[in-house]
Amino acid sequence: MAEVSLNVEAPIEAVWTVLADGWSYAGWVVGATHIRDVDAGWPKCGTRIHHSVGPWPLVIQDTTEVVRCEPSRLLELDARLWPVGAARITLTLTARSADLTEVRMAERVVRGPTSLLPKFLQDALLIPRNKESLQRLDSIARGRA
């Protein structure tokens, strides 16, 4: 499982506000280029973000679904990108102080051809992307705080 963390200089509620805004995902998730729709009630279990990934004209359209949600604490997602596969992503928030939140992002490929890649290769692809995603999340959360 590829796991990264970052101390975000914003209160936990500011970070959660970004995660709870499905329309913001193209702004911080590396690779997401366009959010086409967000189900009403996001991030309740079973709701989805309908997204596009990749550069034009190689755009792939798929969805990310909420598997588990504990507001202001945890968000677990099933991110699909067929025909590449699907990944389980868990975002965990921990308040370190009133204005500092540790965000931990763990991702593992669970379905599709990329699940056949060795773990070290999956990590080599996912860890840098997820570090950059958390840096972007940090910028947005600080801006909203």
Give pTM, 2 decimals: 0.93
Q: In this predicted structure, what is the pLDDT of residue 55?
A: 83
Residue 116: the pLDDT is: 83
Residue 63 amino acid letter: T
pLDDT, tens only, 97-124: 999 999 999 999 999 888 888 899 989 9
How far is the CA of 100 from the CAs of 5, 13, 35, 80, in angstroms?
13, 10, 28, 31
pLDDT cut 90: percent of the chain above it = 79
**pLDDT, tens digit, 9 for 90 and up, residues 13-51:** 999 999 999 999 999 999 899 999 999 999 999 999 999
Cis peptide before 113 (omega within 30 of 0): no
pLDDT of residue 118: 87
Predicted pLDDT at 3: 97
pLDDT for residue 117: 86
Q: Is pLDDT at 145 greater than 80 in this prediction?
A: no
Q: What is the pLDDT of residue 54?
A: 82
96: left (phi over 0), alpha (psi -120 to 50) or beta: alpha
Q: What is the mean pLDDT of residues 73-90?
A: 92
Q: What is the CATH number of the domain that holds 35?
A: 3.30.530.20
Find the domain containing 89 and state its range: 2-144
Q: Give the closest residue to 51 by CA, choosing from 67, 39, 68, 63.
A: 63
Q: What are phi and psi of 71, to 5 degrees?
A: -45, 135
* Number of structural domains the chain divides into: 1
